[in-house]
Structure 1
């Protein structure tokens, strides 16, 4: 499809025909008729199925469990910021930028193992793979509470990055295989908002656990890691039995309901190709689509302010003259407001079936917050209010970006690779974020806020390019379809092409 830009209608038809017979794994769809691909309205083929009831069942069985999983994953990832307030740096004698170094080593394996982890998800059932990852990152978090040196902290952070790398993209990928694009945003935002809930709960828990300082000879920051890691380990055993697999594999849907779920997704994005092998060749083929590359920068730009806030907000709040317990408590309200704005924008985005405008609005809110933090240094109340804007805007825009990009991809291969690429490449921004806020720049953190503003601009630019690109692609397909360029392809052949289907129109 991409090789034919600018060609006349007859040559376009020839190119499409060649794609259908290509040996490539991602494009070589099985031309045997799909059992539910007889065209028409999928609802008419399942008159005994209540779609709303099925969707409610999916809502209850898929999303809440993944929310618990990611809440604990994000909590175990960023609770080091709460631990820092309770004396971690002093007890481990961290000097200079050693604390920032301990933060950054998490992102190295986290970035490198995103795509391999999503590939493994096709070989292990989601409930097995995700619960295993959960147990391991809970165990490593627990062990983090027993470190006595900078080296020990770096080692635990590295392995935490290894085992957490498979969680976020796998969850987004799994959700995408259950929901139609028009109904996905609320679910994505609710799932992604686990990060804001984790930030809020993290502050509340830390304020309570911090009072255990000295019990059994352990400082309060050690108890934060030990207790939160233990809870994660115990929860992993429960989630092993409650995490849902792909629609083709679950036991809580009847056979007819499974076929219905597959049919509705088939009509929306085409054949899932769940059981086709994911090879190096098929991975590289996905990257020939320019939109995949742009998708990484869309997320990358907002990761910098997101992690800048997550890791350093407690320190910034403490620098405003607050004590340890009060700092933890004051860190909670911005996260709560971020959750609220994320759900409002997600609901409106699904209702209006628009994505780009609902990326720009919260991004503007975030930008306003960081500009205030950059320019105002003598008004504690205004600075604290700016933290609300920074958190609300950043964490409301991010789930829309990931959902927009992810659900515009059709089929297991393109979604598995595309999601892992976007999240993996995007998290390189975490490396930048942790070195943007250095101790020597406290309390104004002018370089840190400036870097956040610059990367918000990068995200806005990437999102604009993606919006213009998919809009142009939709118009191009409209024009070629009017010329009859695709008349030689059957309905079933088109559906097996996923988002490369000439009848497919991207969400904007």
Structure 2
């Protein structure tokens, strides 16, 4: 049995996998008939290239926009804070403000493991628009000064008049948004080959960095509406950005597609091509699969899930700390009002570019662990600069011919915000791609991603409670460094070597006994436990 398995493995290796020096899987069962069998290799490659481009245009742009809005909605409270939110809500204390940040992550994290199962059962074209509406139309925002009137009657947090109302809004916002990020990553992993998924996940997540840039610019513009309709500028930030999300939620019923086996934008031939290329890439995620509790137990017994949770918390806690408090950090450098909002834009823009670049690199080299280690060290240096520099800026006079009489020449603290962003954002998408690459099976992958992302987001509670005693914020920056070194650097190093050791054992045939006496279908059902499945390190 073992010799036959190895014979099939060698005969079925694709040219791409030979170039990578990897072993391909035995011919999968239920493989669709190849609609391009009569064509030359050059023609087949051209058809495949056009197919991937078609998938990119149909799937990626709209999902990026949805995530940009989602991240904007959860982090714009930081922009509202420096625009007067705390003062207007009864001089809210720092503790109460941090509690309002924390409660979002509680509901957000708890619901995430279930969200991917619902995504599969309800279909993406139904589930994603519903949660977008829920995040704004069911936030129960009819508030008086002393009590909450429950109902679907207001749009966004722009209508809150008390700290208790803000707490309710943030709780339901977290509940409704829980399904988007893990759901979309799971969804995309069911469309693309393992060496194609990373850059798509990076492009998708770069929307979070762009939302930081866009959020600062948008907040600066919206604050000019102060006192329009009797509402302060910070309230208009919530109202207008909420309206944009509701509109996109409606359009998503028509612009979000389903999984490959049912997506209506694919022809029958293209559907066969997508399913076939995924199955040949050691994936069974393209076809319908009924949920069984065995998939859940397979996920929770997998050591890779817990390592993924540990590594991801090292990226996610710093992510939320940075995105929620960057406006406050910048304001602590001496900037005020719109200038403080605008100074938050450049670090996010740089982070978005590096996120995509790391996605390209990791897809081509399959060295996701080493990518995590290197990039996170950049962030560690950045936050060390934020701790070590006590003078935020100095002023220099400019020649009278310049449009401004003076400018701020920034010292290491502002430079540190750039390195901090560069060290965080690429690791989010790279870690999710790493976990997804190494988990096979429709529901198992969804459950694993739900736990990994849910646990990472639960650490947002830590993010919300470490920034105090500004403008230095020593405790906050030091905590971020601890997370990045302990979880990202050390965790990624351990994971990299453990996966490499397991791959070596599989190449040496030490796991072949796992398939003895099993049928082809039973072997395929093993997923990433198949002896011929090689992990991305």
The alignment's TM-score, normalised by the length of structure 1, stands at 0.89
Verify: 1:199 aligned to 2:212, yes or no.
yes
- In the other structure, the counterpart of 1:54 is 51
Go from structure 1 to structure 2 and tell me whether the alpha carbon gap of 1:116 and 1:274 turns closer, same or farther (over 3 Å shift): farther
Verify: 1:419 aligned to 2:466, yes or no.
no
Structure 1 residue 400: Cα displacement = 0.6
CA distance in 2: counterparts of 1:249 and 1:203, whole angstroms: 39
Higher RCO, 1 or 2 (CA under 8 Å, sep at least 6)?
1
CA distance in 1: counterparts of 2:36 and 2:478, whole angstroms: 52
Equivalent runs, 1:260-299 vs 2, <5 Å: 260-272=273-285, 274-299=287-312
Structure 1 residue 339: Cα displacement = 0.6
- In the other structure, the counterpart of 2:190 is 177
Counterpart of 2:430 (choices 400, 413, 421) is 400
- In the other structure, the counterpart of 1:70 is 67
Counterpart of 1:35 (choices 19, 30, 40) is 30
Structure 1 residue 501: Cα displacement = 1.3
- In the other structure, the counterpart of 2:339 is 326
- In the other structure, the counterpart of 2:121 is 123
Equivalent runs, 1:88-487 vs 2, <5 Å: 88-93=85-90, 94-139=92-137, 140=139, 142-272=155-285, 274-380=287-393, 381=410, 382-438=412-468, 441-457=469-485, 458-480=487-509, 486=515
Task: Name the stretch that deviates more: 269-278 or 227-236.
Answer: 269-278
CA distance in 1: counterparts of 2:370 and 2:248, whole angstroms: 38
* Contiguous gaps of at least 5 residues in structure 1: 1-8, 11-32
Structure 1 residue 351: Cα displacement = 2.4
State the secondary structure of the residue aligned to 1:480.
coil
Go from structure 1 to structure 2 and tell me whether the alpha carbon gap of 1:217 and 1:483 turns closer, same or farther (over 3 Å shift): closer
* Contiguous gaps of at least 5 residues in structure 2: 4-27, 140-153, 394-409
- In the other structure, the counterpart of 1:19 is none
Go from structure 1 to structure 2 and tell me whether the alpha carbon gap of 1:486 and 1:203 turns closer, same or farther (over 3 Å shift): same
CA distance in 2: counterparts of 1:408 and 1:260, whole angstroms: 23
Go from structure 1 to structure 2 and tell me whether the alpha carbon gap of 1:185 and 1:42 turns closer, same or farther (over 3 Å shift): farther
Q: Is the 8 Å Cα contact of residues 436 and 449 (structure 2) preserved in structure 1?
A: yes
Aligned-pair Cα RMSD in Å: 2.3
State the secondary structure of the residue aligned to 1:276.
coil
CA distance in 2: counterparts of 1:336 and 1:88, whole angstroms: 26
Structure 1 residue 352: Cα displacement = 2.2
Go from structure 1 to structure 2 and tell me whether the alpha carbon gap of 1:403 and 1:46 turns closer, same or farther (over 3 Å shift): farther
Question: Number of matched residues?
Answer: 476
Show CA shifts across 1:159-202 (max 9, x none): 00100011110000000000001111111100011100111110
State the secondary structure of the residue aligned to 2:508.
helix
Structure 1 residue 142: Cα displacement = 3.3
Q: Is the 8 Å Cα contact of residues 113 and 454 (structure 2) preserved in structure 1?
A: yes
CA distance in 1: counterparts of 2:32 and 2:270, whole angstroms: 16
State the secondary structure of the residue aligned to 2:261.
coil
Structure 1 residue 475: Cα displacement = 1.1
Q: Is the 8 Å Cα contact of residues 271 and 497 (structure 1) preserved in structure 2?
A: no
CA distance in 1: counterparts of 2:103 and 2:380, whole angstroms: 28
CA distance in 2: counterparts of 1:223 and 1:498, whole angstroms: 49
- In the other structure, the counterpart of 2:78 is 81
CA distance in 2: counterparts of 1:447 and 1:185, whole angstroms: 33
Q: Is the 8 Å Cα contact of residues 259 and 286 (structure 2) preserved in structure 1?
A: no
Q: Is the 8 Å Cα contact of residues 269 and 411 (structure 1) preserved in structure 2?
A: no
Structure 1 residue 279: Cα displacement = 3.9
Show CA shifts across 1:447-489 (max 9, x none): 1011101100122222122112211111111122697774655
The alignment's TM-score, normalised by the length of structure 2, stands at 0.84
Structure 1 residue 34: Cα displacement = 3.4
CA distance in 2: counterparts of 1:185 and 1:473, whole angstroms: 22
State the secondary structure of the residue aligned to 1:246.
coil
Task: Name the stretch that deviates more: 351-360 or 43-52.
Answer: 43-52
The structure 1 segments of at least 4 consecutive aligned residues displaced by more than 6 Å after TM superposition are 45-48, 482-485
